[in-house]
Chains A and B, each alone.
Chain A
Amino acid sequence: MDGAWNAHCTPMLPMSPTSIFSPESTPARWVFDLSLMVYTITGVIFVVVFGLIIYALVRFRKKAADDGREPPQIYGSRQIELAWTIIPILTVLVLFLASARVVAFTQRDSRRPGSLEVNVVGHQFWWEYRYPGLDVVTANELHVPASDPAKPRRILLHLYSADVAHSFWIPRLAGKTDLIPNFPNIMWIDPERPGLYLGQCAQFCGAQHAKMLLRVYVQTPEDFAKWAAAQKQPAQVNEGALHGKEIFERTACMSCHTIAGTPANGRFGPDLTHLMSRDTLASGIADNTRANLRAWIKDPGALKPASLMPAMGLDDSELDAVTDYLMTLR
């Protein structure tokens, strides 16, 4: 699709990391370009009609020295009414054609050969990411390789839900698409510039809808390959953390969480195999530090009330052991 309306290609400095005015991926760029045209058309309409109304209010206001006679009564005018029917219809037609084009281009053959495919599963209140081609499973922080403008490569996101409706919205990368149970969706992005892109769930999904944050790490292809290779490994066994591992497996933790290479294979909560490779906890709401991790395990409800992870009622020494164990999961 040609960038006919996008006269300048330099991305604007974002005044917000989630501004729709600083697109960094083709779908977002197409929307941005269309939006400029839409703002212009609506802006012109606004100025003209607003101006006419203000003019009428001023020019035809009742003067102090009014003679009390009624003004000429005018019941209609065929020509005028025809004109202001035809012009709006033409305007609408132009807008429609421009938008239909973007719709078609965005949704047409989303699947391109060579795309990286990621299965995204929305949960209350976290994001699950599975890379079927790479045998990688992670949560809450999506890593993708940057696309080379000379040889564009799309990242195809298959959107599913394990419970209620959610919505995946990273404004700088694309418009949002919903994750609806029993209704798989597809969207694609092709960011060229490495960096961290933020967003959050955009469909009300329950108590902690506000805390289902999104973090997309766009990496150079080399960095991404390294990341994927590391993620693919099962969990390292660390002799010093065996006590914590045993507690993890003895209490109900393993029935909700997976740690590859161990008996823990629960699917209800995030995969923890490489927990310490992530920057944040609980879907972006807290930094991944020992203190936060310990506090989270002690009582998730304190950080994220109505989170679906229960407080397991561990005592202090057990908490320390489990935290130590989890901190070995790089």
Chain B
Amino acid sequence: MAMQSMTLSRPPVARSRTDGLYEWVTTVDHKRIGVMYVLLALGFLVIGGLEAAAMRLQLIRPHADYVSPRVFNQIMTMHGTTMIFFVAMPLLFGFINYLVPLMIGARDMAFPRLNAFSFWLTAFGGLLLYYSVIGGYGLYGDGNAPEVGWWAYAPLTARAFSRGHSSDYWTLSLLVSGFGTILTSINIIASVLCTRCRGMTLGKMPLFAWMSATMAVLAILAIAPLTAAQMMLMVDRYLGGHFFDTQAGGSAVLWMHFFWIFGHPEVYVLIVPTFAFVSEIIPVFSRKAMFGYPIMVAATVTIAFISLSVWAHHMFTVGMSASSTTFFMITTMAISVPTGIKIFNWLATMWGGKISFKAPMLFCIGFLLQFLVAGLTGVMLATAPLTWQLGNSYFVVAHFHYVILGGIFFGTFGGFYYWYPKVVGRMYSGTLARWHFWLFVIGFHLTFDFMHIPGFLGMPRRIYTYEPGRGWDVWNFIVAIGAAVQIVATAVFILNVLWSARRGPLAGNDPWDAWTLEWSTTSPPPAYNFATLPTVKSRRPLWDLKHPEDPDWKYE
């Protein structure tokens, strides 16, 4: 009896466990692509983390020789490049890919096939970067993994100073994954602008959607300059060009400008999605609407806009004129205003609420406190004279790891635990999550609080060893201990992810009693997301359903 029944009348079908590799490799489903991005990122996180561990071990005491100088410099370059391009970016794009269509009541991203293509470009880029380790022996036997630092300053990357092909692996892998990033960003913008469900005006989108779109616009404007500069570098290295050839009158400083025109907005590309996670989690776990939604949108867009004008604060020591230095000082300080406003808005959201300290909220609290500190050390560095001393020192390394680990990673872990039940269908282990949190807090602070001190005491960055008698020894030792603790914490996290996927209790549609559309469908959602596309009247459609006597749209 062949019954062609309408799929609409059947309950949503859970994903079959027998889905093979072929299904995953050929998928265009935004949810699967999102999961693949996250898994890719976690894989590279382990590699990048081991690279960090190797560096901290080498620096645990002066004149250690666990790795040779050139290998250290390669690890240093690979660590930064991996973490930014193949951990943080894919992780955040993974979350955005999975969640944005669900949150705006759509069935998929605007361009599903482009979405898949972009993912594979990113994955290939990562593979290419690491292929350098085994495949890079060029002329003179030099060059496997790149060893020029993740900024690849000119003229260190010129043929004369960077023999063999190691620098080319840096350039080409990022060029390829950069195209993936641009294409994904185009997809996000088109999705947010063109596929929202009925009734969801831009003013009624979740903050997550606003921040994803902002991040995507910024990503396009940031990656494009890097792409251009990398093309120029290839012209220099292979076509005899002189873009950055100082012997021919070219400018090494021009590379710096181009790189940082990318590099600074890039870090805002990383933090804005974190803001998105936090802006969804804090309200739910405080049981209150987000305080000041319009200002949060305005502040985010303002931050993105200003971030395009601050780049040369990475060049305060380069010898710019006083007026240039002063300009970049004012823009850099200005960006702290909307950022601070957001912190206050999150605080006000919690104020008067009923805060429960589940894992997502714990990590968001960690984010809030640590991002505050990171922002303040950033304000210190914004005053150019302080950067003249602290720039290119371990103070800066501590500052940006505070932002990236203390801010972005904590916020992302919060998001991870918040949406894990939705993606996997099972609840994670709260006990393991708390162990993860507290171990990570201890390890993080041991490493990155104390890391500021060698900066104050004159320790520059990117050195494979240091002299005894400068007062740096004990602090580097403590930093290394913290790294070990963080490794244990991360192992607990991975254990939780894997164990709970099989043994966790079923989560149901809406374990957190939340208010955005993704919680209205099953966990995990069916391939088509919603049986019927929803219609919304307010920013919190599920609040309206749960409180029909007192819906949001009366007050917005």
| A interface, CB within 8 angstroms of B | 15-21, 27-28, 30-31, 34-35, 38-39, 42, 45-46, 49-50, 52-53, 56-57, 60-63, 66, 70-77, 80-81, 84-85, 88-89, 92, 95-96, 98-100, 102-104, 106-108, 124, 159, 163-165, 167, 169, 171, 174-178, 180-183, 185-186, 198-210, 213, 305-306
Contacts and interface: CB of A to CB of B under 8 A. Distances in A.
B393 interface: yes
A89 B369 contact: no
Contacts of A85: 337, 341
Interface stretch (B32-40, B197-205, B327-335, B442-450): B327-335
A19 B380 contact: no
B326 A100 contact: yes
B505 interface: no
Contact of B317 (A20, A21, A98, A167): A167
Given A17-B458, A38-B379, 13 more contacts: A16-B470, A19-B458, A20-B390, A66-B354, A71-B287, A75-B293, A76-B291, A163-B155, A174-B388, A176-B389, A204-B153, A207-B147, A305-B69
B68 interface: yes
Given A46-B373, A73-B289, A183 B251 contact: yes
B138 interface: no
Nearest to A186: B319
B405 interface: no
A19 B385 contact: no
B234 interface: no
Contacts of A53: 347, 350, 365, 368-369, 372
B156 interface: yes
Contacts of A75: 289, 291-293, 555-556
B354 A16 contact: no
Nearest to A199: B458
B141 interface: no
Interface stretch (B91-99, B461-469, B491-499): B461-469
B291 A21 contact: no
B548 to A, nearest CB: 14
Nearest to A175: B388
Contact of A60 (B343, B353, B390): B353
9 contacts: A15-B457, A49-B344, A53-B365, A57-B355, A62-B287, A106-B385, A159-B319, A202-B393, A204-B148
Closest A-B pairs by Cβ, 4 of them: A175-B388, A18-B458, A16-B471, A210-B463
Nearest to B70: A207
A84 B155 CA distance: 45
Contact of B252 (A56, A89, A165, A198): A165
Contacts of B535: none
Contact of A175 (B295, B317, B333, B351): B317
Given A19-B457, A60-B353, A76-B291, A183 B252 contact: yes
B314 to A, nearest CB: 12
Contacts of A204: 73, 148-149, 153, 156, 461-462
Given A17-B470, A204-B153, A180 B388 contact: no
Contacts of A31: 385-386, 388-389
B478 to A, nearest CB: 16
B27 interface: no
Contact of A18 (B156, B341, B383, B470): B470
Contacts of B464: 210
A74 B148 CA distance: 51
Contact of A71 (B156, B352, B459): B352
B341 A88 contact: yes
Nearest to A108: B322
Contact of A205 (B156, B344, B379): B156
Contacts of B368: 53
Nearest to B388: A175
Contacts of A102: 384-385
A330 to B, nearest CB: 26
A187 to B, nearest CB: 8
B333 A202 contact: no
Interface string B42-81: 0000000000000000000000000011100100000000
Contacts of B318: 178, 180, 183, 185
Contacts of A16: 457-458, 470-472
Contacts of B376: 42, 45-46
B249 interface: yes
Contact of B337 (A76, A88, A207): A88
A31 to B, nearest CB: 5
Contacts of B73: 204, 206-207, 209
B457 A18 contact: yes
A171 B457 CA distance: 8
Contacts of B555: 73, 75
Contacts of B291: 74-77
Contact of B470 (A57, A63, A198): A198
Nearest to B296: A76
A85 B292 CA distance: 13
Contacts of B293: 75-76
| Residue among A17, A18, A27, A106 facing the most chain B CB atoms (10 A cut-off) | A18
Contacts of B246: 181-183
Given A88-B340, A205-B156, A74 B289 contact: yes
A89 B379 contact: no
A106 B383 CA distance: 13
Contacts of B347: 49, 52-53, 56
Interface in B358-380: 365, 368-369, 372-373, 376-377, 379-380
